[in-house]
Amino acid sequence: MTTQPTPPSTYILKQLHDVGLPEPVSWWPQTIGWKILLGIGLVLLSIWLYQQGRSWWTNRYRREALAVTESLDIRSPKFEYQVFVIIKRVMGYLNCADQAAYGEGFLQALYAYIPHDDSKMEPELADKWMLSLNSSKQALNMEEKQRIHQYCLHWIKEHQQSGAGA
């Protein structure tokens, strides 16, 4: 019969001692300077996040107006009026006094929100747009509708809230 070998006797291991593990190294900074720097960084990050959130919240009307304007059908016979209503609602949101603007007063209020003179619509196209709101005989052609659509998209993206006394 075969027998299993016996493990070594304890007299061999008698003088051995377990080696202890070293203390773990802390990842937390040891000096006060790093803690101050971390605190300043967290404060600055909080301020930046607050400003980004506030900007996102205050520009939600702009995103909604862009989405509605981009979804309009240019071939629609009511396109001119629909764009007019969208722009007028945005202007009314910015300044309640602009809700009553129409015709030349509407165009002046519209331009007051754009800081650059080169961003104004051509006067002939603007006048024709205002006339098309009242008369079906003054309907705009597709190229003019496209230009008004592009201008209104640009205006919604670029207008300044403090432009017309808001």
> Model pTM?
0.70
Query: Would you give per-residue pLDDT tens digits along the chain (166 residues)?
Result: 567 666 556 666 666 677 788 888 888 888 999 999 999 999 999 999 999 999 999 999 999 999 999 999 988 888 999 999 999 999 999 988 888 888 888 888 888 888 776 777 888 999 899 988 888 788 888 999 999 999 999 999 988 876 554 4
Q: Which residues contact 106 (CB under 8 A, 6 or more apart)?
A: 84, 88, 98, 130
